């Protein structure tokens, strides 16, 4: 018995044991993580879609459209060559709003926002979809925490003028937060680029593609 224990503890001290131990624990960890990913993947995708639906209904009132929004999409390239998925809200086969995502790097990582623009080029609404800004400082861009993001409603690319489309610190017309300039600067920039994208692709975006309505 004693000898067995001794042998065992001797083996534990070898590099082989430690290599096997590390290898095995990495294997177990990887298996667990892949399994976790498999189990939660669909559920997370579903939640993200629900969030998207909820966000869309915040920026576009239900009365503005009579089509299936999530099925009416077109894809257009923006000035940077990235393809943007655009949701078209239509009523009686006329586009009443286009909704798409814009993103920009904030203080820590990407800030994704959703923006709805009416056919006249005016912003119907903006909401932040996801961000990882500093809690208590940069997270005032969330509508639950501050009204700031509502300030974009009704604005367009020429109102305020192009030079006004930045935060006050940069000579623009939008308030920054106490302690956070980079976050609102990024959001303003992403919305401006969204408006520029709309101006550039107005024709395509406002064209009702009847095929995608099926």
Q: Which positions touch another protein (CB under 8 A)? A: 12-13, 17-18, 21-22, 25-26, 29, 32-33, 36-37, 39-40, 43-44, 47, 50-51, 132, 134-137, 139, 144-145, 178-179
* Nearer CB in complex with another protein: 14/75: 14
Nearest distance, CB of residue 4 and another protein, angstroms: 15
Strands (E), 106-187: 110-117, 123-130
The answer to whether the beta carbons of residues 110 and 104 sit under 8 Å apart is: yes
- Cβ-based neighbours of 157, under 8 Å, separated by 6 or more: 121, 165, 192, 195, 196, 198, 199
Report d(CA 173, CA 155) in Å as an integer. Answer: 12
Nearest distance, CB of residue 35 and another protein, angstroms: 9
Nearest distance, CB of residue 139 and another protein, angstroms: 8
The answer to whether the beta carbons of residues 123 and 162 sit under 8 Å apart is: no
- DSSP lists the bridge partners of residue 171 as none
* Nearer CB in complex with another protein: 123/149: 149
* Nearer CB in complex with another protein: 32/85: 32
Nearest distance, CB of residue 84 and another protein, angstroms: 24
């Amino acid at each position: 018995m004693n000898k067995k224990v001794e042998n065992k503890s001797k083996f534990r001290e070898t590099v082989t044991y430690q290599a096997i131990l590390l290898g095995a624990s990495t294997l177990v960890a990887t298996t667990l993580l892949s399994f976790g990913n498999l189990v939660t993947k669909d559920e997370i995708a579903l939640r993200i879609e629900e969030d998207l639906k909820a966000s869309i209904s915040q920026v576009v009132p239900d009365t503005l459209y009579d089509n299936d929004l999530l099925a009416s999409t077109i894809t257009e390239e923006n000035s940077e060559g990235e393809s943007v998925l655009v949701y078209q809200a239509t009523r009686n086969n006329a586009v009443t709003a286009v909704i798409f995502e814009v993103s920009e790097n904030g203080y820590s990582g990407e800030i994704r926002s959703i923006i709805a623009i009416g056919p006249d080029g005016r912003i119907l609404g903006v909401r932040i979809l996801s961000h990882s800004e500093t809690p208590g400082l940069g997270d005032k861009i969330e509508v639950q925490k501050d009204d700031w993001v509502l300030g974009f409603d009704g604005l367009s690319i020429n109102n305020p003028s192009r030079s006004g489309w930045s935060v006050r610190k940069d000579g623009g017309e939008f308030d920054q937060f106490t302690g956070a300039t980079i976050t609102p600067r990024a959001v303003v920039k992403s919305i401006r680029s969204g408006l520029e994208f709309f101006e550039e692709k107005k024709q395509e975006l406002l064209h009702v593609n009847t095929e995608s309505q099926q």
